[in-house]
A = this chain, B = another copy of it.
Amino acid sequence: MEIDFSTIKVIGFDADDTLWVNETYFRDAEEHFATLLEDYETKNKIDQELFKMEIKNLGLYGYGIKGFVLSMIESALELSNNEVSQATLLELLNLGKNMIDHPVEILDGVKEVLKGLNGKYRLIVLTKGDLLDQERKLEKSGLSVYFHHVEVLSDKKEKNYQDLLDHLEIPVNEFLMIGNSLKSDVLPLVNIGAKAVHIPFHTTWQHEEVEEPKEKNGYITVGKLTDVLDFL
């Protein structure tokens, strides 16, 4: 299906795994977590239990590294029947600090695309991580010059996007979202009548996985970010 991008005036960019690497560091932290707790359970069981704990706490903690660290600590206590050492718990705190403080690794083609779109569209960073983390990453990345501002959503469901477009007074047909998550960056947008470009990242958090619709309506999937310069 052909999509008409001629009405687009504002483009929202997802940040994590669209502008820069993110999920990879969570996977590394999960590996580290499993190693620290290998005396108590199999790696497979540890992975499963940590994921369950994250999902259980998601409503309270929301997305981002701090909630992830709190869930790691709780999961470590539970998996070990409160026997995990204090030194290991301290290591989990430091693991989280290192994640927050990690250098930013910008993905291929991001600068080229932002330069190409700059001036033609109003560009916004649109993320559901932690505001401070995302601002820091944007600052470190040197990409902030291309963006009008950063918006953090507590979740990326239809209502969150609709509320945002309402308060920014952006008509739905003028908005395009670009991101790696079909569930969070693509489907909610097309469901409210906006458009989206899906750029899969090689790693997807289990919680973000969703089945591809049989018919693509309102969005296209491209292999690499620079492909958007062919039609924007």
A residues in contact (CB < 8 Å) with B: 60-62, 64, 66-67, 69-70, 73-74, 77, 80, 82-87, 89-90, 93, 96-97, 100-101, 130-132, 135, 148-149, 152-154, 163, 166-167
Q: How many copies does the complex hold?
A: 2
Find the residue from A130, A152, A166, A167 having the highest chain B CB count within 10 A. Answer: A130
- Residues of chain B contacted by A80 (CB below 8 angstroms): 86
- Residues of chain B contacted by A131 (CB below 8 angstroms): 62, 131, 152-154
Find the residue from A67, A84, A86 having the highest chain B CB count within 10 A. Answer: A86
- Residues of chain B contacted by A154 (CB below 8 angstroms): 131-132, 135
- Residues of chain B contacted by A166 (CB below 8 angstroms): 149
The list of the 10 closest CB pairs from A to B, nearest first, reads A62-B132, A82-B86, A149-B167, A66-B66, A132-B154, A131-B154, A60-B100, A135-B154, A77-B90, A74-B93
List 16 A-B residue pairs with CB atoms under 8 Å apart, sorted by A's residue number: A60-B97, A60-B100, A60-B101, A62-B131, A62-B132, A66-B66, A66-B70, A77-B86, A77-B89, A80-B86, A86-B89, A130-B130, A131-B153, A131-B154, A135-B154, A152-B152
Residue pair A90, B70 in contact (C-beta under 8 Å): no
Find the residue from A64, A66, A90, A148 having the highest chain B CB count within 10 A. Answer: A66
In the complex, what distance in Å separates the CA atom of A153 from the CA atom of B152? 10
- Residues of chain B contacted by A77 (CB below 8 angstroms): 86, 89-90, 93
Which residue of chain B is the closest to A63 with respect to CB atoms?
A: B132
Residue pair B86, A83 in contact (C-beta under 8 Å): yes
- Residues of chain B contacted by A101 (CB below 8 angstroms): 60
- Residues of chain B contacted by A130 (CB below 8 angstroms): 62, 130
Q: How far is the CB of A59 from chain B (nearest CB, A)?
A: 9
Which residue of chain B is the closest to A93 with respect to CB atoms?
A: B74
Which residue of chain B is the closest to A166 with respect to CB atoms?
A: B149
In the complex, what distance in Å separates the CA atom of A87 from the CA atom of B132? 31
